[in-house]
Structure 1
Amino acid sequence: MIRSLKFFTIIGLGLVTPTTWANGLLLNDENLRNDLNWLNHQGVIQISTSTWPLSEEAVIKAIQDANINNKTQQKVIESVLAHVKSQNESFRVNLFAETDPQYLPQKFGDNIKSQYQVGVQLKSSGENWAGQLKINTENDLIIDHDQKVNVEGSYLAGKLWNQWIVAGQIPTYWGPGHDGSLIRGDASRPVYGVTLQRADQAAFETKWLSWIGPWQYQVFAGQLDDYQAVPNTKLIGMRLTAQPFSYLELGLSRVIQWGGKGRSNSLSSLWDAIGGSKDNIDDPNMVATDPSNQLAGVDGRLNLNQWTSIPISFYGQAIGEDEAGGLPSRKLYLAGIDYSSQIKKMPYQLYAEWSDTRTNGEVKNYTYTHHIYKDGYYQHGFPLGHPLGGDGEMYSLGGDIRFDAMNRLNGRLMYAKVNQSALEINQAFLLRDRFKTLDLTWTHYLRSDVPLKISGWITDSESLGNDSGVSIGIEIPLDASLFN
């Protein structure tokens, strides 16, 4: 009965095969990630959600192979399919307004960088290509880049032999953390560049490599915008994930700031940066021999559902600044636990997470800084890694519950210590501070493809006192079906 329900749901949503519908990318979205993680924890699907953006094809294939055992699981499947379908509508308008800028670390998938925003999104795709043009008009900028109009979220992509080649300005996120990634997050504005990644995460067919399990890679090369310390600085990133067992995912990540005005931009210099042997020069007078600023590390997630029948998982991330003895040194840490279940047929997820962007647990004014790239691992003053920026620590409790097909609530409670080294390049948190925050978002779907989001937050800061605010945002499709 359940499998029959699944079949008719997919047909009703207009999906027959991945090639007839699943084209392009799914950009960072908190509700979608929560739904996919919930299904992973329940053992319904197997898909990596630690490397964003996701390929639509990978999501649809995971849904087609789903092992559905009850109506609650089916409800979450339908939520994922509705989201994917909505992202393929050709013409959408996004409206957003908030009373005050939020004084809290930005959450995953938050693409709003101003108090007021109007966006127009056009999307089209074919069997082996996809393109999206998003034009955003902003007012009262939170991340100031001297532009009231931008095309953040726009891309053009082609698929060749299961590889997406993507050019544009889209957000990236690497890691299992709910509230941040130590190495590549989406708290800053997206970086212009080119991305390569697999369309389908399937395992190798050959027996010599099939043990690796489903795997994904992402390679990125782009240029930082308005990076004043070294104009035209390049950002290069490489990530590889694998699931050798259905309950275990492992990831390796590395990023390099390299080149720029006044620096060597030669291939030999790039090769030195990739090799890493000339990084981590302590003498600032030897800058000519230090080709780059680098971070690298590992992350993983272990799902215990297979052994305990309890949908709980543990995850973690360790990232090192620079190199010592051939390995990353001066480490940052993130660890968490999450649980996915249901109550009265309402799916929910809970998590607890700890993040530490100090250097080996100490405030040393080292994390996300560099003696050449003096604007640090930031763009427009906002971190390219964890939204805390350097020398911070955060404890968070959060969750998500879907009451019915039209209403869901997510939120988090945080205690954070930010910018403990009082670093001026951290524009996200200019002051050394400690604060407590409650952040809630209610999403009401006026229609399955028309989400209305109302958020509210309360912050108690040692430096700035108490603060609170609300925001409202809505996405409206303007295709012909809206008027039918």
Structure 2
Amino acid sequence: MKYLALTALLLSSNTAVASIWVDATNLHLRHHIQRLSDANIIKSPVTTYPLMWDAINEDINQVKLDNLPKELRNSYMQVMHYYKKSKANKFANQLKLSAANNPKRLHGFGDSYREKAKLTLSRETVGDFWAFKVSSQLRHAPEGGQEFTFDDSYAAIIYENWILKVGAPPQWWGPGWGSSLLMTNNARPLPALSLTRSNNEAFDTPLLSWIGRWSFTAQMAKLESNRTVPDALLWSTRATIRPFDSLEIGANWSIQWGGQGQSNSLSNFWNALSSSPQCANGAAECDSALHTKYGNQLAGIDLRWHNTILDVPFAFYAQTVGEDAVNYRPVDKAYVYGLDSSAFFNGTRLYLEYTDTQVGCAGGSSTALNCYYEHGTYKTGYRYHKRSIGSTFDNDAKAWSLGAIGETDEHHQWHAKLTIAKLNSDNVDRSPLPEIGNQVSEVFEELKQIEFEYKMPIKKGLLTLGVQGEYSTFLTQDNQTEFTVYSSWDLRY
């Protein structure tokens, strides 16, 4: 009866989906995809979002519901619901309203709001070899000052197994649920030209077939004008492999380069790609001890490994991203570690995650901070519209997150999260200028934050209700307590 009720609910849903990918805004859909991946039903890498439907459709279309373990049938039906909608609809419209008494401070995967108020109108259309979306937002008191934006708009051409796209869809690279280090939804989406592999099938050649199914995406993004180096460019690329059913490995690389006052030539870009050295003091020649790389470079790897203990599924994941490579190896590294399991009531996922961006400037045992996500030339750092492009905690932070993702018997969705963090641990900001340096906390702060979010269908849309409380202690100012209530209504038709 439970699955008949779910089937009726999904069939009666007015959710319209027309997309060539799973975007980085649907936390619960990602949770269900990950459950199927951990059960080795989906055999493609699934830690890069947007995640192409073409990468997982073969696996999910081969499944027979009656042969699935009962605990996985809900996840399978949820994923198939969105997949079939995406294939059946050639276009979809969206109207979304969100409101809160405070702006969102910390962002995890799929968070529902950013500013105190926002109206979103969009239309997405999909053809046989192309897709596009026009999405507009009207924001109240936004970070970065732009009240009217076109985030999440794009145009894409599909040719054989590749998707060429220009636009700004939200992205998330890595296995973390609460944070990731190189590319997340913490900042507004980056406008970029990108090339992405659509179907993640393995190589046929014996030399490379051992890596299993693999994904690849590369993009060139343009950053905003209100920076110390206006209109800087950001090259980013990610590849993932799945050499075993239980293991997924990813590699990431970003290079901030060009912009006003800097060389935008292809030769300069090639020098950055090839890791050619340059003198940190600006001289034409210098001692090798003063060598640095062109641009602001970050690179790293991540992995997710899943297994079972006494038939209880669990997974361990880790990520490291560093700066300032020496002999092609990043030395100033931040870390994310996590454990998760979806073996609880109704497939509820629990995750425990640790993030450490307290990075010494010269690696090793250095105690000099204010370096991670920073750069001597690109002084605005690895940020976009006053938000880190990577970790939501910005630099010099250590944070624990304990979260739960689940559904009720009525298939209403919920997410609860507790975060305990030490922010800006050295109590010093990079610069007194507001657009430079740590954007989460200008001083040392011990933060305790708890959040609960509930989603349910209502009035042909999806209603989200959330509450958040946080308590902060400081070294030189009074302690603070803040409560936030937020809601959104998302209609897709």
Same fold? TM cut 0.5: yes
1:311 aligned partner? 313
Provide, for residues 285-307 of structure 1, a one-character-per-residue CA deviation record: whole Å limited to 9, x for no partner.
779985301000111011113x8
Give the aligned residue type for 2:467: G
Runs ≥4 in structure 1, deviation > 6 angstroms? 11-14, 284-289
Cα drift, residue 124 of structure 1? 0.7
| 2:417 is the alignment partner of 1:412 | yes
Provide, for residues 266-288 of structure 1, a one-character-per-residue CA deviation record: whole Å limited to 9, x for no partner.
11111110111326x54367799
Cα drift, residue 84 of structure 1? 4.3
Matches for 1:454-469 after TM superposition, within 5 Å: 454-463=465-474, 464-469=479-484
Give the aligned residue type for 2:281: D
1:436 aligned partner? 448
Cα drift, residue 61 of structure 1? 2.8
Cα drift, residue 67 of structure 1? 6.8
Change in CA separation of 1:422 and 1:289 when aligned onto 2, cut-off 3 Å: closer
Provide, for residues 305-344 of structure 1, a one-character-per-residue CA deviation record: whole Å limited to 9, x for no partner.
3x8633101010111112112211111111111111243x
2:347 aligned partner? 347
Q: Give, in whole Å, the separation in 2 of the partners of 1:261 and 1:156.
A: 27
- SS state at 1:327 partner: coil
| 2:95 is the alignment partner of 1:97 | no
Provide, for residues 231-286 of structure 1, a one-character-per-residue CA deviation record: whole Å limited to 9, x for no partner.
1100000111000111001111100000111111111111110111326x543677
- SS state at 1:455 partner: strand
2:298 to 295, 305, 309: 295
Q: Give, in whole Å, the separation in 2 of the partners of 1:473 and 1:326.
A: 46
2:140 aligned partner? 139
Change in CA separation of 1:390 and 1:160 when aligned onto 2, cut-off 3 Å: same
Change in CA separation of 1:458 and 1:230 when aligned onto 2, cut-off 3 Å: same
Provide, for residues 394-439 of structure 1, a one-character-per-residue CA deviation record: whole Å limited to 9, x for no partner.
1111111111353121111110111224334222333321110111
Cα drift, residue 457 of structure 1? 0.6
Cα drift, residue 194 of structure 1? 0.9
| 2:419 is the alignment partner of 1:386 | no
Contact 1:72–1:342 at 8 Å: present in 2 too? no
Cα drift, residue 41 of structure 1? 2.3
Provide, for residues 53-76 of structure 1, a one-character-per-residue CA deviation record: whole Å limited to 9, x for no partner.
111222433321347523331211
Give the aligned residue type for 2:339: I
Give the aligned residue type for 1:314: F
1:17 aligned partner? none
- SS state at 1:79 partner: helix
Contact 1:172–1:186 at 8 Å: present in 2 too? yes
Change in CA separation of 1:39 and 1:405 when aligned onto 2, cut-off 3 Å: farther
Contact 1:277–1:326 at 8 Å: present in 2 too? no
Change in CA separation of 1:414 and 1:211 when aligned onto 2, cut-off 3 Å: same
TM-score by length of structure 1 reads 0.88
Aligned length: 459
Q: Give, in whole Å, the separation in 1 of the partners of 2:324 and 2:482.
A: 38
Structure 1, unaligned runs of 5 or more = 15-20, 479-484
Give the aligned residue type for 1:357: T
Provide, for residues 104-152 of structure 1, a one-character-per-residue CA deviation record: whole Å limited to 9, x for no partner.
x2111236331111111101111121111111111122x22x3221110
Give the aligned residue type for 1:45: I
Give the aligned residue type for 2:303: G
Contact 1:24–1:157 at 8 Å: present in 2 too? no
2:37 aligned partner? 40
1:472 aligned partner? 487
1:27 aligned partner? 23
Q: CA RMSD in A?
A: 2.7
| 2:73 is the alignment partner of 1:74 | yes
Q: Give, in whole Å, the separation in 2 of the partners of 1:180 and 1:106.
A: 8
TM-score by length of structure 2 reads 0.86
1:399 aligned partner? 404
Give the aligned residue type for 1:427: Q
1:329 aligned partner? 331
1:53 aligned partner? 50
2:287 aligned partner? none
